[in-house]
Amino acid sequence: MVACLRRRLLVGLCNAILFGAAVPAGLLTESVLAQDADSASSGKIENAKGATRSDRLYAEFDRTGKSLDFKTKDGQVYQWQSDPLFRFSAEGMNFGSVYVWTDPKGHLALVGTIGSIPISGDDFEFVEFHLMNPSPIEPLRIGKLGPKVWEPNVDTLALKPIPDAPAVAAQAGTRLRQMRGLARRFSAEMINAGQTNTLRLLPQPLYRYQNSTEEFDGALFAFVWDTGTDPEVLLRIELIGSGDEARWAYQPMRFTYRAVNASLDQKRIWEQAEFYERDQSRQSAPYMTTLTRQIP
């Protein structure tokens, strides 16, 4: 009973820290004091095997990523790209790795963060995913702390042509410059605590297709808040069609529970309300997030 109650309190606190929910004052005070005692050096202290806390956590994220199975309902298996797009840390407390999964043809299919948050001296793992491929996937059952089922709706995931985009260039370097130029035509905003924040586009893509051609190329760009470089909105730019029909297309994606929007040439083309579905046991949006486990 005590262990069960402690777990429920920890889950509630984790959700509050991650998602901005209300926290009982006593519980918050106790946990913050515990974090203050631990966090100043916990990111640097080595364990008995000589691995730093960050090394251990990044290895745990890799193991989780490798263990996840994403496949479409018609049998296509998405391939986990084991090299993360980047790893991040915040003040030696929160850590995370950002990964992508590709379909059998090498196209971007899914992007996700696997990270950690410290609570009362223990590290808890969280995940957030966004489906990119408009093919329905098998439901994902994930998490030990209030398990979640994710069966995303794919109705809004089709790539849309970018108006007035240049003809697709023959050279890979020129295509990259084209994609960067197209990304600069987009802007994004995030609403936090009632305040609208203009997000900043990182000039270089987080990911660009390898071995690209005039019929196979694409990149993933990030819009970030002024508090760091953790993406809040992702922008996929990719080729669709072939031959004379090849053209540039786009797909915006939320990577936060907060309300976000995007514009193209200063015209609003996409809006997402605050993600309240995060607290539900079944999630059906293309974006999902949840706590998964206490990291040993």
Break the chain into its structural domains and give their ranges: 2-154+276-294, 160-272
What is the structure's pLDDT at 51?
Answer: 66
Name residues whose C-beta falls within 8 Å of residue 105's C-beta, 6 or more positions apart in sequence.
Answer: none
Query: Above 60 in pLDDT, residue 78?
Result: yes
CB 292 within 8 A of CB 143: yes
17 touches 28 (CB < 8 A)? no
Across the chain, what does the average pLDDT equal? 85
Q: Over the stretch 12-52, which tens digit does the pLDDT of each residue have?
A: 444 444 544 433 322 222 222 233 333 333 344 344 344 68
Give the integer Cα–Cα distance in Å for 187 and 263: 5
- Residue 82 is encoded by which pair of tokens? 């084991």
Rounded Cα gap, residues 137 and 194, in angstroms: 35
Average pLDDT, integer, range 96-100? 96
What are the pLDDT digits (tens) for 245-294?
999 999 999 999 999 999 999 999 999 999 999 889 999 999 999 999 99
What's the CA gap between 21 and 12, in Å, rounded?
Answer: 8
| pLDDT given at position 50 | 45
> Rounded to an integer, what distance in angstroms lies between the CA atom of residue 142 and that of residue 129?
12
Percent of the chain topping pLDDT 70 = 82
Chain length of the chain: 296
